[in-house]
Structure 1
Amino acid sequence: MAKNSSNCIQILVKLEVFKHDDGLCYSSSSLYSFRDVIRPTISFSCPPFDDKSRDIKWFKDCTPLDSKSNKYFSVENVLSINNVTQQDEGKYTCEASFHYNGASYTISRTLNLVLRAPVITSSPAIIRPTNNILPVDLGSPLSLVCEVQSKKKFFDVEIIYWTFDNQSIEMYDGFDERVITGAPYKKSPVEELSVVELNFTEVKEIDYNRKFFCKVDNEANIKAFVMLKQPDPNFQGFLIAFFVSLVCIVIILLILFKMFKVDIVLFCRSICPSKASLKDGKFYDAYIMYPKDTKGTSSSTMGVFVLKVLPEVLERQCSYRLFIFGRDDIPGQATVDAIDEAITKSRRLIIVLGNNSSGYRLENNFEQQIAMYDALIRHKTKVILVEIEKISDYSNMPESIKYIKQKQGVVRWKGEFTEAKLSPKTKFWKNIRYRMPPEQHQLSKDSNDRMSEKL
């Protein structure tokens, strides 16, 4: 503010302070722009430095310029570049020091140099469109640009216009309402760029597959077109969703199959009976082996399970044929021969185990030795381990039993022998049936018929 006895003058000055971008010597928001065409030499000044007496240093992209080379030449605040190429584009920073109130400061300006190749031909050239096909959504707005470059200093922009299918654009459906053409104008007098636009407020079906021409009305009568078309369907989102859903479904099915594998297998067997077991030459579905003492007797729990529970469910309700030594062997037959023959004719070997505290040891039982040899070595009969009591310690069991348990686990009975637990649909019996051969749904023979066959 300056005032005297008669006047008061007030001047406002706007001061903007910029911080340099990280790792740079300038701020992108405070750049000065300078455009030029590529020619042998271009010059520009440091904007705006009023005092030309300062010692000015120049940088390109924050790297000091080599003042001793023939490429750059600076006088006061003007920098000249020789043998200009496209690589000379960049950010040019001029820096000078000054003193104020006994302190030294630095002032700098950064200029963004943009270079463009000159047009070689003397006749006008259409930069856009380029005889291309443009996908555009139905109902969306659209702006088409006709851009023409000419080296003629006094090029008449009025000779640039839009047509469609060799007709005036003014004859187009919806002209001046939905389709509007702008007036031609000079975009860049330095580069002699002239532009005329064709705008659509919304694209309709009638606009598709129709050529819109940008024409230059001169002796060359050059033109270029752009054709509108509907975008191709984008199936990427659908495919991603499909494959993600497919993977989720597969994972869910695998989890469900793992959870209900036993029920699924038993259901498939029930609707598709297998006849393979009838052609394998076997007579028994399973040989039942259980521990006995030296007198050939078993514990009461073991005897009830083997001689009553197993026959009730597997033979009477599921039509399986079981061989239980002591029940099905022929009187007077050699024990070793009877066991070997029965195991050979059996499709499965069911080993029933009780708690170790019962005092029965399998390793001294020759029946067990024959069965294991036959099952694991000679005929590779599948073995089913059944625990009628929870066995927490297998350290005293034979190595063959430990091996089978480790490979396929055991089926464990829980609770008492009640009538409700004698249903083939309970979890225990489903696991047994799953490991047994498919049921043949044949009526089992009573003990008299079985004995008569053997005799």
Structure 2
Amino acid sequence: MLGQLFVLLLLKSPVLSCMFQPAHNSSSIYRCYIHEGEPVFCKCPPVPSVDSNITWFRNGSQTAISTDTQEKIFQENGYLKIIPARRDDNGFFTCVFQNAEGCQQHIIELNVFQNDDGLCYNFKMLYPFEYFQSESITIQCPDIQAYNIAAKSAKWYKDCKPLNLAGGRSKYYISSNNELNINNVTKEDSGNYTCETSLMHRGTEYKITRSMNCIITATPEARKSNIIYPTNNYLSVELGAPLTLTCKVEESGRGITIVFWNYSDDERVIEGTNENIVTADGKRFVYHNLTFLSVKEEDYNQKIVCEAGPIDADSSEAYVILKYPDPNFQGPLIAIFAVGAFFIITSLIVVKFFKVDIVLWYRSSLFSRPHLNDGKAYDSYIMYPKNATGNSSYEMDLFVLKILPDVLETQCAYRLFIIGRDDLPGQAMADVVDEAISQSRRLIIVLGNVSNESTLGEDFEQKIAMYDALIRNKLKVILIELEKITDYSCMPESIKYIKQKQGVVRWKGEFTEASLSPNTRFWKNIRYRMPPAPRQSDSELHYIYTED
């Protein structure tokens, strides 16, 4: 019960209740450094408003630090003050401040250090400063404003040796109001400087020191600005078109970079103002525009100059020259490409569907070669199925012995060899077949629906023909289906192979006078597969003309 009452009383205190809330920016710990034996005034970051109420606590304690200035550790005017600081004062403190917007708390780590052996400073606690070599520089004694020290000259040391502020070098070093002025600065003035002043507290004077590492670097030489664009280049632009030119300049790093365009004062030419941009990698660029409301004839072939540079250095120049646009061949090239593509596609389609007619036309033209003079006696050897007695069907005999010769021999001037028609009685059949096939340029195989009684020629005839066509590759084969064959399972493997590789030519319809014209689709396909026939005039050939 008493514990609950104690917690309730704590929560009624605005400061203590704030400490029970999550700390604002609790991930950040601020640090306060001081040399042992010196007074330290630690500030509560960030600097609160004037009407803020600040309370300090030792970290982990709920008892506020005393405000009694007679104590060694006390708080006054928002500062944590320890006079003097000792090594056992190291640790963490919490400052809580309130205003109209609420309350916040921060953690401050106090680090009381000692000087390095034989030195008047701790190397790790030096304030870093960097100055450019110039006629004079001023070094201020840092972080002593909160001590309200009466205005007086501090003592100054360089590398722990006192500086002679009077006498022969008094014009070189001048000390005033806790500041050190150095004239005629050179790189030799680099070093570790220490300022020493004092604070009176309760009748005791306490020493306050600050040490700084000052580096003097050579003043960067003035260099010309780097103009990224323009690059003394030409620019194509249409007559009468609006145009905006942008001068892009990388700053030289010394002084203010001035950028401007040096061109006509015509009202239609408007010059903009500088736009400064800093990139993520720290580079600084200046952009400056020049706008043409409309480009005129007088603008062509003229240098439009951009000048840029710092005030105290020579400026850089770069120009751009306007020119008329180059002829645009894109449209004609696209048209030519489209026409060419159309022509190629059309040609491929024509060749695909009219290949047979084109080849036959070329053979009949004056550009074709004459009939092959290879010593062959026949243009084609004809092989067709016969039954066991050596006979064939009526339709097969009619087609092979009558129709084929009428069209290919009589009308197209081809020479055919047909067993039973062109062999002589008494000749050895195997020798006749072998000789005739070897003297032929093509092998025409006529197929019909196969019955059990019919075979594709004599066995020796088929073997000789297939050997020359498939093994010796001396004959090109033309397969003709006299009627549609749906089942090739009973056919020899050689016939199946030939059909798979090059297809067949199928006869359609009846044997009529119109079907005997060499200009029908069937006979054109046969003539296309046959070797070129001898060129003869129409009067020498007996064509049967039809509308097909």
* TM bucket normalised to smaller: 0.5 to 0.7
Unaligned runs of 5+ in 1: 1-52, 59-64, 79-97, 99-118, 447-455
Tell me which structure has the larger Cα radius of gyration. 2
- Aligned pairs for 1:2-41 within 5 A: none
Question: Measured at CA, do residues 126 and 423 of structure 1 come closer, stay the same or move farther in structure 2, by a change above 3 Å?
Answer: same
1:288 alignment partner in structure 2? 382
Q: Does structure 1 residue 380 correspond to structure 2 residue 449?
A: no
Q: Kindly state the Cα deviation for residue 406 of structure 1 after the two structures are TM-superposed.
A: 1.9
Q: Root-mean-square deviation (CA), in Å?
A: 4.4
2:262 alignment partner in structure 1? 163
Q: Kindly state the Cα deviation for residue 135 of structure 1 after the two structures are TM-superposed.
A: 2.5
Question: Measured at CA, do residues 321 and 77 of structure 1 come closer, stay the same or move farther in structure 2, by a change above 3 Å?
Answer: farther
Query: Amino acid of the residue matched to residue 299 of structure 2?
Result: D
Query: Amino acid of the residue matched to residue 179 of structure 1?
Result: V
- In the alignment, the residues of structure 2 paired with residue 310 and residue 76 of structure 1 have an alpha-carbon distance, to the nearest angstrom, of 113
1:356 alignment partner in structure 2? 450
Residue 260 of structure 1 aligns to a residue whose secondary structure is helix
- Aligned pairs for 1:204-215 within 5 A: 204-215=296-307
Contact 2:301 2:322 in 1 (8 A): yes
1:202 alignment partner in structure 2? 294
Which of 228, 235, 238 is equivalent to 1:135?
Answer: 235
* Structure with the bigger percentage of helix: 1
Q: Kindly state the Cα deviation for residue 236 of structure 1 after the two structures are TM-superposed.
A: 7.3
Residue 226 of structure 1 aligns to a residue whose secondary structure is strand
- In the alignment, the residues of structure 2 paired with residue 341 and residue 332 of structure 1 have an alpha-carbon distance, to the nearest angstrom, of 15
- In the alignment, the residues of structure 1 paired with residue 536 and residue 242 of structure 2 have an alpha-carbon distance, to the nearest angstrom, of 78
Residue 494 of structure 2 aligns to a residue whose secondary structure is helix
2:245 alignment partner in structure 1? 144
Question: Measured at CA, do residues 249 and 189 of structure 1 come closer, stay the same or move farther in structure 2, by a change above 3 Å?
Answer: closer
Contact 1:129 1:224 in 2 (8 A): no
Contact 1:273 1:439 in 2 (8 A): no
Contact 1:126 1:146 in 2 (8 A): no
Contact 1:284 1:322 in 2 (8 A): yes
Q: Does structure 1 residue 336 correspond to structure 2 residue 436?
A: no
Contact 1:363 1:369 in 2 (8 A): no
Structure with greater contact order relative to length (CA < 8 Å, sep ≥ 6): 1
Taking structure 2 as the reference length, the TM-score comes to 0.51
Question: Measured at CA, do residues 215 and 369 of structure 1 come closer, stay the same or move farther in structure 2, by a change above 3 Å?
Answer: closer
Percent of aligned pairs sharing the same letter: 52
Q: Kindly state the Cα deviation for residue 403 of structure 1 after the two structures are TM-superposed.
A: 2.0
Query: Amino acid of the residue matched to residue 415 of structure 1?
Result: G
Q: Does structure 1 residue 75 correspond to structure 2 residue 175?
A: no
Paired residue total: 331
Unaligned runs of 5+ in 2: 1-20, 33-43, 49-97, 99-218, 541-548
Contact 2:227 2:317 in 1 (8 A): no
- In the alignment, the residues of structure 2 paired with residue 340 and residue 146 of structure 1 have an alpha-carbon distance, to the nearest angstrom, of 92
Q: Kindly state the Cα deviation for residue 129 of structure 1 after the two structures are TM-superposed.
A: 4.6
* Structure with the bigger percentage of strand: 2
Q: Kindly state the Cα deviation for residue 314 of structure 1 after the two structures are TM-superposed.
A: 0.5
- In the alignment, the residues of structure 1 paired with residue 379 and residue 356 of structure 2 have an alpha-carbon distance, to the nearest angstrom, of 19
Contact 2:382 2:443 in 1 (8 A): yes
- Aligned pairs for 1:361-440 within 5 A: 361-362=455-456, 365-378=459-472, 380-440=474-534
- Aligned pairs for 1:199-348 within 5 A: 199-215=291-307, 220-230=313-323, 249-271=343-365, 272-275=367-370, 277-278=372-373, 280-348=374-442
Taking structure 1 as the reference length, the TM-score comes to 0.60
Q: Kindly state the Cα deviation for residue 321 of structure 1 after the two structures are TM-superposed.
A: 0.7
Contact 2:383 2:457 in 1 (8 A): no
Q: Kindly state the Cα deviation for residue 369 of structure 1 after the two structures are TM-superposed.
A: 2.9
Contact 1:128 1:145 in 2 (8 A): no
Residue 291 of structure 2 aligns to a residue whose secondary structure is strand
Structure 1 stretch 281-290 or stretch 353-362: which is displaced more?
Answer: 353-362
Question: Measured at CA, do residues 67 and 288 of structure 1 come closer, stay the same or move farther in structure 2, by a change above 3 Å?
Answer: farther
Question: Could you list the per-position Cα deviations for residues 416-439 of structure 1 after superposition, in whole angstroms to 9, with x for gaps in the alignment?
Answer: 011111111111111111110011
Question: Measured at CA, do residues 360 and 443 of structure 1 come closer, stay the same or move farther in structure 2, by a change above 3 Å?
Answer: farther
Contact 1:291 1:362 in 2 (8 A): yes
Question: Measured at CA, do residues 197 and 362 of structure 1 come closer, stay the same or move farther in structure 2, by a change above 3 Å?
Answer: closer
Q: Kindly state the Cα deviation for residue 256 of structure 1 after the two structures are TM-superposed.
A: 3.4
